[in-house]
Structure 1
């Protein structure tokens, strides 16, 4: 039940943004065993003045096409699954919409199963 928040600079087409959604979802299905239709994602667009990043932090040459991806998920995945997720997201977004791997920044936030309510005010996984 991942929850995905994506931040990026304004100016990209609807098709470009939909390709980001699709690529991340495919990567989660392939590496995290996310069920079909488990898609809860948002994209927030920012003007240049409201989007700051380290252009060369950690020796990675980033551009204004940088996409910040934050995924909240249950703490049930292995280190190997997490590494596969990061690599697969970069690969899928490289295929479409053509993002460079240097411009794919992923942050995974994990929490306990009982911390999720999917609706009706219930803790479905508790």
Structure 2
């Protein structure tokens, strides 16, 4: 159950936000083999000057339309799998939105199941029916 944050410029309509979240979900299903209904996303919109990125770093240059997509995952993924999700994410965004590849910044962040709860204080590592 990866948990993702989507940071994008403010003022984007609801359909644009979905057009960014859906490609992320598709990439997670295809590359991390998560269930299609495992959707845990938080969308943050930032005013001008609140989303600060080095516009020329590596994959740039990026623009004012840059989106940042950190994914927190509960199980380790290989470097190859992480690279595959980055490529798939860019491809999916290009197909469904007006976000160009240079404006897609992503990061896969690892955590353990003991680090996470998806409600009621039950850790994802707890056996079914047990509260930790």
Q: How far off is 1:123 after superposition?
A: 1.9
**TM-score normalised by structure 2 residue count:** 0.88
The CA distance in 2 between the partners of 1:26 and 1:112, in whole Å, is: 23
Q: From the two aligned structures, give the one with the greater helix fraction.
A: 1
The CA distance in 1 between the partners of 2:120 and 2:52, in whole Å, is: 37
Which segments of 5 or more consecutive residues in structure 2 lack a partner in the other structure? 127-132
Which residue number in structure 2 is paired with residue 86 of structure 1? 86
Matches within 5 A, 1:13-92: 13-58=13-58, 60-92=60-92
Which segments of 5 or more consecutive residues in structure 1 lack a partner in the other structure? none
SS at the partner of 2:63? coil
CA offset digits 1:100-126 (Å, max 9, x no partner): 110000011101222222222222324
Q: How far off is 1:59 after superposition?
A: 5.7
Task: Say if 1:16 and 1:121 are closer, same or farther in 2 by CA, change over 3 A.
Answer: same
Aligned length: 126
CA RMSD of aligned residues (A): 1.4
Q: How far off is 1:12 after superposition?
A: 1.9
CA offset digits 1:33-64 (Å, max 9, x no partner): 11121001011111113222211122611011
**TM-score normalised by structure 1 residue count:** 0.92
Residue 108 of structure 2 is aligned to residue 108 of structure 1: yes
SS at the partner of 1:57? coil
CA offset digits 1:13-49 (Å, max 9, x no partner): 2111101111100110000011121001011111113
Residue 119 of structure 2 is aligned to residue 119 of structure 1: yes
